[in-house]
Amino acid sequence: MSKKQISLKLSTVTLAVLLASCGGGGSEGYFNQEGSSNNSGGSDNAGNIEEVQSLEISSIQLNDTSGKETQLVSALGVVATVKVTDGRGKPVGGALVSFSGENMTFSTTNSAVFTNADGEAVIGITPTDSNITGAYLLAVNANLNDINATKSKNVSFVKTDIVIDSFKAASSSLESGGSTLLTLLIKDTEGNYQNNQQVSFTAGCGTFSNPTVSSSSEGNVSNTYYAYDASGKLCSGNQKITATPKNSPARAESLSLNIQAATATSIVYTAIEDLKIPVQGSGSSSSGQLEFTVYSNGAVLPNQDVTLSLNKSPKGASFVSLGNTLDRTVKSDSNGKVVVNVYPGDVPGPVEIKATLPSGFSALSKNITITTGRATQNSFSLSVSKNSLENDKDGDVTTIVARLADRNGNDVPDGTVVNFITEGGKVRGACSTKDGQCSVELSTQNPRPADGRVSVLAYVEGDKSYIDTNGDNIYTSGIDTLFNNIGSFFRDDNENNRYDSTIGEFKYDRPLTSSPLVCGISSFSQPNIAETCDNQLSAILRQQIVLYFADSTGTIRDLTATGSSLSFNLFGNSALTTPMPSGTSIAVTPEDTTDNSKSCTAELATGSNPIANVINSTYYQYRLKDCAAGDNFKITTTAPNGKVSNFYATYR
């Protein structure tokens, strides 16, 4: 076919519409319309459209891309022509002609055109879906000055078979991870180029710049194939590439590409977070995992041999499988990853694992340690944001922080649960540790102990403290020595270091699980019940503190002003069992009433002003200077709620 012939076939529907819209030369025009003698009449009518009294539409004529009259609409489309006349048969120019029909796409955006001077209206029609077949109704409406005429025609849609021609790759042999340009032509069965036809591309392994491409000018289709999949996995070996036309899937065409096997060029330690593994028997996870990834020129590479070595580790640690310390060779998975299990022993310390490729490339793990063990009794402590609360109101709050560590001073496993109970007020019942600590709030409310002293007890699962006599970091009964052995315990509400059932003190019973041993001495911070201890390491750890529910009205005792000092004890209740609430301010004002040319002054020497958040002493001492017998002192306390209490003393 010559270039001239090819050009004539381009966009035939569009060319036909343009020719017809221009009049096309009357009866000698592209559509071979009848009767050129009406041209002058049409022109007269167009100039006198106000004379039109009625409209008529001639038969609807369809022409294919070759100009032949047809009743069939294929994917190539047709040109529809109608002629509008007045009641006397003269052509009417300037009438608006609208077209409509199911599964029809028209060549104007509003599916309407104006008639030309010969009364002709021309529009292109293509199938909305070229796979649709069957009979449809084409409807036409002409309008001029509110005068209308309608016409319809039955048309049939036929499917155009699509053929793929000249499917080829720019290169048939690729490196792993490489790419090549794919090209093909889209035609119908008669060899005509077909534009706007969709072609989908698939491959056993690999990706494309576009999974679906539409044919452009002269039926051209181009796409790029990449020899790796969507996840970055490299392809290798013989890969089949298939192009499938949407309208004729049975006419798919394939070609083969040979992709060279990928070579591992690097291995990287790809674990994101530091790995801290609890020691064996800690009650937490018994293993951890780390990860290496094999790459070939930046893409992950599966099924590669990787040799793993345990470079550094504390005694008892193993890797890959429990108890193993020898080098192991494993395969990278489908994502190029090698996941390695690490198992702890009883001794904490750093771990380093080396991963090596056959080519010699290697990587080392980073920031892995065997560290965390169970909480131990001698590392359990409590602290508070303040310890003397205002008893005069509900809701004065303090924060209680529990801190835990294992026998080596490391954090206990995150999520270790600490329970709390209280003699008075309200405390949140438990907290879970993060980085070895957690906290709860205690607030003032009923019940309020009469003496204002509130015992708060915290307890948690853990290990007793012991002396590791044989140095293996493992407790062995009969060899190692339990330090201050503990068993059952209680909340010591009356602070006498022994359990008193008669006043209803809380008791936690822990049954003996093996041979009994003598218990350690019971103390307020570590209450213990005699004859409840055994020779096992596991225990319920405990820690106890006292908080004060103090009145805002001060009580002073032992107030003296003599020599070089003013001293007194300041209490937060008349029972003299609590300090004033934390934050209370104290002012001592001398009143110099003697005529001795001196000015009496008082300076705080012992105590805190304002009262500290954590206060355990009620004793205050002020250093006096230039005071004489008969001088007076005013002591003023101001509680956090504003309550003022005044006391007076005379220097003697």
**pLDDT of amino acid 473:** 82
Q: Which of 5-9, 91-95, 451-455, 624-628 has the lowest mean pLDDT?
A: 5-9
Residue 343 has pLDDT above 80, yes or no: yes
Mean pLDDT of 151-170: 91
Q: Taking a C-beta distance cutoff of 8 angstroms, is the pair 141, 123 a contact?
A: no
The domain defined by 377-549 folds into: Immunoglobulin-like (2.60.40)
Between 113 and 596, the higher pLDDT residue: 113
**pLDDT of amino acid 33:** 38
User: Cα–Cα distance between 547 and 383 in angstroms, integer?
Assistant: 11
* Confidence grade of residue 390 (pLDDT, cut at 50, 70, 90): very high
**Helix or strand or coil: residue 349?**
strand
Mean pLDDT of 442-452: 97
User: Cα–Cα distance between 489 and 503 in angstroms, integer?
Assistant: 15
**pLDDT of amino acid 149:** 93
**The domain made up of 555-650 is a member of CATH 3.50.30:** no
The letter for the amino acid at 456 is: V
Would you put residue 166 in left (φ > 0), alpha (ψ -120 to 50) or beta? left
Non-local (6+) Cβ contacts of 548 within 8 A are 387, 388, 389, 452, 453, 454, 572, 578, 579, 581
User: Cα–Cα distance between 470 and 475 in angstroms, integer?
Assistant: 9
The letter for the amino acid at 315 is: K
Superfamily grouping for domain 162-259? Immunoglobulins (2.60.40.10)
Q: pLDDT digit string (tens) for 454-496? A: 999 999 999 999 999 998 888 889 999 999 999 999 999 999 9
Alpha-carbon dihedral sign for residues 568, 572, 577, 582? negative
DSSP lists the bridge partners of residue 202 as 242
User: Cα–Cα distance between 462 and 403 in angstroms, integer?
Assistant: 13
Look up residue 294 and give its two tokens: 């094999």
β-bridge pairing 72-73 and 147-157: parallel
CATH number for 275-370: choose from 2.60.40.10, 1.10.3720.10, 3.90.1300.10, 1.10.10.10.
2.60.40.10
Q: Which of 318-322, 400-404, 535-539 has the highest mean pLDDT?
A: 400-404
**pLDDT of amino acid 2:** 37
Other CB atoms within a 10 A radius of the CB of residue 308 amount to: 21
Which residue reads 């036929």 in tokens?
Answer: 158
**Helix or strand or coil: residue 293?**
strand
Domain boundaries, the chain: 3-157, 162-259, 275-370, 377-549, 555-650
Q: For residue 45, give the H/E element and its range.
A: helix 39-47
**Domains 162-259 and 377-549 equal at CATH topology level:** yes
Look up residue 454 and give its two tokens: 């509130």
Mean pLDDT of 410-426: 94
Distances (CA, A) of 315 to 351, 370, 406, 436, 464: 10, 10, 18, 24, 23
Q: Taking a C-beta distance cutoff of 8 angstroms, is the pair 448, 424 a contact?
A: yes
**Helix or strand or coil: residue 153?**
strand
Closest CA to 646 of 573, 636, 638: 636
**pLDDT of amino acid 282:** 65
SS in 3 state form for 305-345?
EEEEEEEECCCCCEECCCCCCCCEEEECCCCCEEEEEEECC
The letter for the amino acid at 349 is: G
Give all strands (DSSP E) within 480-600, no chain letters.
481-482, 489-490, 507-508, 516-517, 533-534, 538-550, 555-562, 565-571, 585-591
Mean pLDDT of 334-345: 92
Q: Taking a C-beta distance cutoff of 8 angstroms, is the pair 97, 140 a contact?
A: yes
The domain defined by 3-157 folds into: Immunoglobulin-like (2.60.40)
Q: pLDDT digit string (tens) for 43-91? A: 444 444 457 889 999 889 999 877 889 988 887 789 999 999 998 889 9
**pLDDT of amino acid 284:** 62
Q: pLDDT digit string (tens) for 254-312? A: 999 999 988 888 999 998 888 888 888 666 667 889 999 999 888 888 899 999 999 99
State the distance between the two ends of the chain, measured CA to CA, in whole angstroms.
132
**Helix or strand or coil: residue 50?**
helix
Q: Taking a C-beta distance cutoff of 8 angstroms, is the pair 238, 223 a contact?
A: no
Look up residue 497 and give its two tokens: 């270091």
Residue 4 has pLDDT above 50, yes or no: no
Non-local (6+) Cβ contacts of 446 within 8 A are none
Residue 21 has pLDDT above 50, yes or no: no
Phi, psi dihedral angles at 630 (to 5 degrees): 105, -20
